[in-house]
Amino acid sequence: MTRIPFDEMKATIKQAFLNAGMPEDKAEVCARTHTESSRDGVYSHGLNRVERFVEYIGKEWVDVNAEPTLDVNLGAMEVYNGNMGPGVLNAIFAMNRATEIAEKNGLGLVSLNNTTHWMRGGAYGWLAAEKGYIGICWTNTESCMPAWGATSGGIGNNPFIMAVPRKEGHIVLDMAMSQYSYGKLQVTRLKNQKLPYPGGFDKNGDLSDDPGAIEETRRVLPIGFWKGSGFAVLLDIISSLLSGGLTTAGIDKFDKGSCGSCCQIFIAINPLKINTQEFIDKALGATVTQIKGGVPVKENAEIYYPGENSLKTRKENLALGIPVDDGVWAKVKELATIK
């Protein structure tokens, strides 16, 4: 396995974005965000997503020069048009703005309409937590999953993120509404493996852990069956109604790539406005102790709190370099070649 140092990966991605026409400051932030995603183990939305992002710029599905503009100001809540700018930059702007509003109003909610793919949603939860804020955010997406009771697509996998700052390591949930991504199905099939747990329905309508059988039907499973299906619908319509932007059905029609003109919600709250640091440390400490103190499924195995694995991977990848797929890395280096 090839491992690439963080700084080398970031510089290479940045050059690829500069070559695609991004201004220097924007290329810097986007490159850092992609590299951080790979550093934390979310390879699918880090280095592996660079080529597609460059392709979207080329197709004019992303406007590298666009900036978010204010649509509505309601005090604790502000609505922005993302103007089809880079989703990563719009999302960083929105979560930062939410933290500013939170200082004045207790909490801040910023919504974006007409934005583009934010890559790894968790990035904005970690961002809020790094600044000392509780962060909650979600996005809608194009449809890629059947609603419960249906065999054909209709709802998005709408990632949902919650993050809580904690000195010893932030507690972060970053989940899509599908049990497994299509990327995970493909990778598992190519290894000739089964999924660890059922991930969808096969052509007979039976639950299956065979990734190929699920790719065939495209009946991926929402988390919790009917529950995740309903959650996906609510995340979608709330993100649209709080931003005045497109629903999943609208994104499907808009048809400018994955998440083209999607909507996103960013909520920030400063827990120190309500509690002392001592109370917070005690509450989080007791929770982590309770989780990690359970009886593990396998003897001597560790039980992780949400986000703990990301930190472990981060530490390892910073020490040893970030693992890359050689083909993907070669492609990004090609995009980064100065012609």
143-182 residues near its own copies, rule: CB under 8 A: 143, 146-155, 162-164, 171, 173, 175, 179
Question: In the annotation, is 45 catalytic?
Answer: yes
- The interface with its own copies within residues 181-200 (CB under 8 A) comprises 197-198
Rounded to whole angstroms, how far apart are CA atoms 266 and 139? 9
Rounded to whole angstroms, how far apart are CA atoms 162 and 130? 13
Residue among 284, 257, 304 at smallest CA distance from 144:
257
Residue 215 Cβ vs its own copies, minimum distance, rounded to whole Å: 18
Rounded to whole angstroms, how far apart are CA atoms 332 and 54? 10
Partners of 253 in the β-ladder: none
- The interface with its own copies within residues 109-128 (CB under 8 A) comprises 109, 111
Please tell me the count of residues contacting its own copies according to CB under 8 A: 85
Task: Report how far Cα 179 is from the mean position of its chain's Cα atoms.
Answer: 15
Residue 283 Cβ vs its own copies, minimum distance, rounded to whole Å: 5
- The interface with its own copies within residues 288-327 (CB under 8 A) comprises 289-291, 293-297, 301-306
CA-angle at 115, arms to 28 and 63, nearest 5°? 55
Residue 296 Cβ vs its own copies, minimum distance, rounded to whole Å: 6
Token pair belonging to 235:
């995340």
202 lies in the binding site for its own copies (CB under 8 A): no
70 lies in the binding site for its own copies (CB under 8 A): no
Residue 334 phi/psi, 5-degree rounding, is -60, -45
Each residue 89-108 as x (binds its own copies by CB under 8 A) or -, in order, gives ---------------xxxx-
Of 18-26, 33-41, 281-289, 314-322, which segment contacts its own copies by CB under 8 A? 281-289
Q: Are 92 and 29 in contact (CB under 8 A)?
A: yes
Residue 116 Cβ vs its own copies, minimum distance, rounded to whole Å: 20
Rounded to whole angstroms, how far apart are CA atoms 17 and 110? 27
From 34, 45, 117, 170, active-site residue: 45
Nearer to its own copies, 131 or 333 (CB): 131
Instruction: Give the DSSP letter string of 22-61.
Output: --HHHHHHHHHHHHHHHHTT-GGGTGGGHHHHHHHHHTTS
Among 271, 312, 328, 331, binds its own copies (CB under 8 A): 271
- The interface with its own copies within residues 221-260 (CB under 8 A) comprises 223-225, 227-231, 233-238, 240-244, 247-250, 252
Residues with a catalytic annotation lie at 45
